[in-house]
Structure 1
Amino acid sequence: MTQGWAIREDHDRADAQRHGELLTAARAAFEELGYGATTIAEITRRAGVSRATFYVYFASKEQVFAVLAEQVRDRFLRAQDLSGIDRDAVDEVLHRTIATTLEATVENLALMTVLNHQAVADEEMRRLWREIQGEAVHRTATYVSQQARAGRVEPVADPEALGMMGAGMNDRYAPLVVAGETTVDEAVEEMHRIWMACLGH
């Protein structure tokens, strides 16, 4: 019985590894070629597997792209996780979330560009794109509103507008970081100064 479980665990690990290899290959193809030019043949070539193996794990190119898009969404949700930090320490909360959100954007910028283009014609991709963009703005606005009610900040504008401002700064700085025109640390410090000024600090 123990040997049977060991064999099953080895098989599961191999499955997980192959699944991950296909996702890695697909991501590289989408980022380099765009959605339209990426084919299942290209994904399997990069992964070093057969077309039949691809279909063991994914039903279509659309499905593998959707999985990658969901990974991006989940990465941004993790970026705004405030576990282990005092939510009322506004300066610390802002510095951390600005940094983690910018890092997530830099890591995923190429795929996000493809996702943004695909969202124009694909309703499911549009929904995921709105989650990625909208959830961060909503969480930021909610946090600013809570801190304003508690008297810890004095926002210079509507919290929702400030949330959109933050998203805009993040989207502007990420390509500069990728291009080597600035660093994450420099961008974070600049955005943090702007944010604190907008909150009356």
Structure 2
Amino acid sequence: MAGLEEACAVHEFGNDADRCALLDAAGRCFAKLGYERTTMAVIASSVGISVSELSTYFPSREEVFHAVSASVFDMFLEAQRIPVQPGTDPRVVLGAATAAFIESVFRFGRLFTLIEDRAAVDPVVKEQLETAHGRVLRRYIRFIEGLGQTGAATPCAEPAQLARKLSDAQWSGAERLIDAPKDEQQRFIADITAASERFIGIGGVTELTSRTAS
């Protein structure tokens, strides 16, 4: 799970290769076996250490999962940090950010859905999920507001409402297609990007349809 290795480097562990390898292995275990079957012994065995050694990093399975989910959310947020040069076509920015975010969902696959499931019963994961959702949403709102203020777009709805609907559509649509063929995943990215352009009003089409807003 290379993406998790990259993400943990962004998170609190810095360049600690041992912890990054541990989180990567734990993420694989959780994704493959689910939460209940992924014990401390399973995680320790997957990286060739003892449970006592694992406990020096994380005292419990719950804390391992919290670290894994935190790294995953860091990856989602970093995926949307798109370098933008002055004068860049907003369609290019929107397309790059949309594709990067959705492909991050595809990349983490079942680990992503497990994190969402755990958020329903684990307050720490719930807070992580809500924080990530909130940050993504605020970025989207600022993007739409900026286009409206400069006259580069004519959004079909109030920016916060529109950003929420489009963000939810991306998140839920990507989750449904985690196991879909690659070409179907790419069609979804193209379709949701085109719809987002229309609803944001980049190109003059500002009619919000129930198909994508739902």
TM-score between the two structures when normalised by the length of structure 2 = 0.78
When you count helix as a share of all residues, which structure comes out higher? 1
Q: Does residue 190 in structure 1 map to residue 191 in structure 2?
A: yes
What are the superposed Cα offsets for residues 120-148 of structure 1, whole Å, 9 maximum, x if unpaired? 12211111011222221221012101211
Q: State how far apart, in whole Å, the 1-side matches of 2:182 and 2:48 are.
A: 36
Q: State how far apart, in whole Å, the 2-side matches of 1:152 and 1:184 are.
A: 29
Which secondary structure does the structure 2 equivalent of 1:178 belong to? Answer: coil
Q: State how far apart, in whole Å, the 1-side matches of 2:87 and 2:178 are.
A: 28
Change (3 A) 1:72 1:87: farther
Give 1:56 deviation, angstroms. Answer: 2.2
Match of residue 93 from structure 1:
93
- Larger-gyration structure (1/2): 1
Give 1:81 deviation, angstroms. Answer: 0.8
Change (3 A) 1:104 1:155: same
Query: What code does the residue aligned with 2:164 have?
Result: M
Match of residue 175 from structure 1:
176
Following superposition of structure 1 onto structure 2, how do residues 102-141 of structure 1 map, counting pairs within 5 Å?
102-141=102-141
Q: Percent identity?
A: 24
Q: State how far apart, in whole Å, the 2-side matches of 1:86 and 1:197 are.
A: 22
8 Å CA contact retained: 2:177, 2:185: no
Question: How many residues in Structure 1 have an aligned counterpart in Structure 2?
Answer: 187
Give 1:98 deviation, angstroms. Answer: 0.7
Give ranges in structure 1 of 5+ residues lacking alignment: 1-14
Which secondary structure does the structure 1 equivalent of 2:177 belong to? Answer: helix
What are the superposed Cα offsets for residues 80-106 of structure 1, whole Å, 9 maximum, x if unpaired? 113244476311110110111111111
Match of residue 55 from structure 2:
55
Query: What code does the residue aligned with 2:197 have?
Result: M
TM-score between the two structures when normalised by the length of structure 1 = 0.83
CA RMSD of aligned residues (A): 2.1
Query: What code does the residue aligned with 1:144 have?
Result: I
Give 1:29 deviation, angstroms. Answer: 1.5
Give 1:16 deviation, angstroms. Answer: 3.6
Query: What code does the residue aligned with 2:152 have?
Result: R
Q: State how far apart, in whole Å, the 2-side matches of 1:177 and 1:86 are.
A: 35
Match of residue 39 from structure 2:
39
Q: Which deviates further from its counterpart, 96-105 or 180-189?
A: 180-189
What are the superposed Cα offsets for residues 2-31 of structure 1, whole Å, 9 maximum, x if unpaired? xxxxxxxxxxxxx94432332222111211
Query: What code does the residue aligned with 2:180 have?
Result: A
Q: State how far apart, in whole Å, the 1-side matches of 2:143 and 2:45 are.
A: 46
Change (3 A) 1:190 1:134: same
Change (3 A) 1:196 1:126: same
Q: State how far apart, in whole Å, the 2-side matches of 1:80 and 1:181 are.
A: 21
8 Å CA contact retained: 2:118, 2:125: yes
Q: State how far apart, in whole Å, the 1-side matches of 2:147 and 2:175 are.
A: 27
Give 1:165 deviation, angstroms. Answer: 2.4
Change (3 A) 1:165 1:89: same
